Structure 1
Amino acid sequence: METKTGAQRYYVTTSQEYTNLINYIPEGYEVMEMPENARVIIRKKIPVLTTSEEKEIVYDAIKGFSAIKDFFIYSEKDLIHVYHSQFNSDAGQDLNLSRNEAIKIYGEQIEKWMRFNTSLRFRLINKEKRLFQAERKVYLGFFDYSFYPIGEKGLIENSARVNGKHLGRDSFFDLTPN
């Protein structure tokens, strides 16, 4: 579909009623599943500056040290995000459920309606030395929030372990922004 400015816009559909469907992904675009709600989109490729090893380090730290049970790691640009399901709270206000526990309580259909949030992320601030700065979500109002740096910048191994252990616990809100 063409926009008012003449650029191309692509949509994902399962319907066969449209006549202008594409059979390939255009050069410079990618199919992507949105981390918040699993909606599938086609978008211009966005570079990822972090490595799969760094994502794995964050995953292992969150799994080993945090209280959240249902999460995944997502990278985009210079950021590594920790996404947790709606059945896991960033600061331990609610019971943190695993995916299987949520299904047992709410039924198998819950997977279709699950939402994910990110409250902790790691920003690559020095590409050569591979130094990261942890950032946590700070609520500025009822619907408004922003991310602010917390703790010391350093290697992802240290930052993920030191800051990740607070996810799903009351101590998360004790992490004072720098």
Structure 2
Amino acid sequence: MSVEYTNRRGRKHYLHEGKTKTGKPKYFFSMKAEGTLLNAIPDGYEIYEHPSAQVFLRKIPPQIITPEEVAIVQDGIKKHAKLDYFIVDVKDNQIVVYLCDQNVDALMEIALPVSSAEAARMRAALVESLSYSPMMQFVLESTQTRAFVVERWCFRGSVDDWIALDRSTDLNALVKQYGQHLGKESFYDLMP
């Protein structure tokens, strides 16, 4: 049985093996079920789904961020920002919060009057097709003190980069103080 992975958009991907120009093996996912398919994930690798729903096979990265810290951000955003559609992703020493680019409720309101079953199918199809953008990140500054820097994405044309807002060894406090602004106009007022 070949390795299959279904991403959040409901698309099935198959793990393939190819060769580099030097003859070394390379691994990749494709939606095609033909070719050199692998029956197992190679040792030292893991499946990774990017918030854009692209699927990759990558070497298992060293664990800098703990699962508990990811849970603090995930639960804190849900509790304080009261958002339904967001993704929390870990990259190196960063916990990145991606927000949905579309307003699902507004899009559902403009749909023609439909039965509740059709509305549920429409919402599910819409949720599968959502796109996400990075809006806030919590960067681990010190592995000894577990100090984090909270940054927000700056949308000024001349900047278009992360800007640091605050730092603390209390990740819960940072998430509570700054996470509540995600998805709101007050987010754009956050400045260092």
Please state which band the TM-score falls in when normalised by the shorter chain.
0.7 to 0.9
Q: 1:106: Cα distance to partner?
A: 8.8
Identity of aligned residues (%): 30
- In structure 2, give the amino acid aligned to 1:58: V
- 1:80 aligned residue: 95
Aligned length: 166
RMSD: 2.9
TM-score (norm 1): 0.78
- What is the Cα deviation at residue 55 of structure 1? 1.5
Q: Find the aligned partners of 1:39 and 1:84 in 2 and give their Cα distance.
A: 17
Structure 1 Cα separation of the partners of residues 143 and 85 of structure 2: 30
Summarize the alignment of residues 9-24 of structure 1 with structure 2, pairs less than 5 Å apart. 9-18=26-35, 20-24=36-40
From 78, 91, 95, give the equivalent of 1:63. Answer: 78
Q: Give 1:17 shift.
A: 2.3
* Aligned equivalent of 2:10: none
**Alignment match, 2:130:** 114
Structure 2 residue 142 is matched with structure 1 residue 158: no
5+ residue gaps, structure 2, are 1-17, 112-117
Are the aligned partners of 2:99 and 2:183 in contact in 1 as well (CA < 8 Å)? no
Name the aligned partner's letter for residue 133 of structure 1. Answer: V
Moved over 6 A (4+): 100-103
Q: Which has the higher contact order (CA 8 A, sep 6+)?
A: 1
**CA separation in 1, counterparts of 2:99 and 2:120?**
18
Aligned equivalents of 1:106, 1:147: Cα separation in 2: 37
The aligned amino acid for 1:122 is F
Unaligned 5+ residue runs, structure 1? 89-95
Residue of 146, 149, 167 corresponding to 1:130: 146
- Structure 1's 15 and 163: CA in aligned 2 closer, same or farther, altered over 3 A? same
Which of these residues, 8, 20, 43, is aligned with residue 58 of structure 2?
Answer: 43
Query: Which residue is equivalent to 2:25?
Result: 8
**Contact kept? 1:47, 1:76, Cα under 8 Å:** no
TM-score of the superposed pair, with normalisation by structure 2: 0.73
Deviations 1:33-85 (A, max 9, x none): 112x2222112222231112111211222122215331232222111111222
User: What amino acid is aligned across from residue 33 of structure 1 in structure 2?
Assistant: E
Question: Using the alignment, how far apart are the partners of 2:92 and 2:144 within structure 1?
Answer: 16
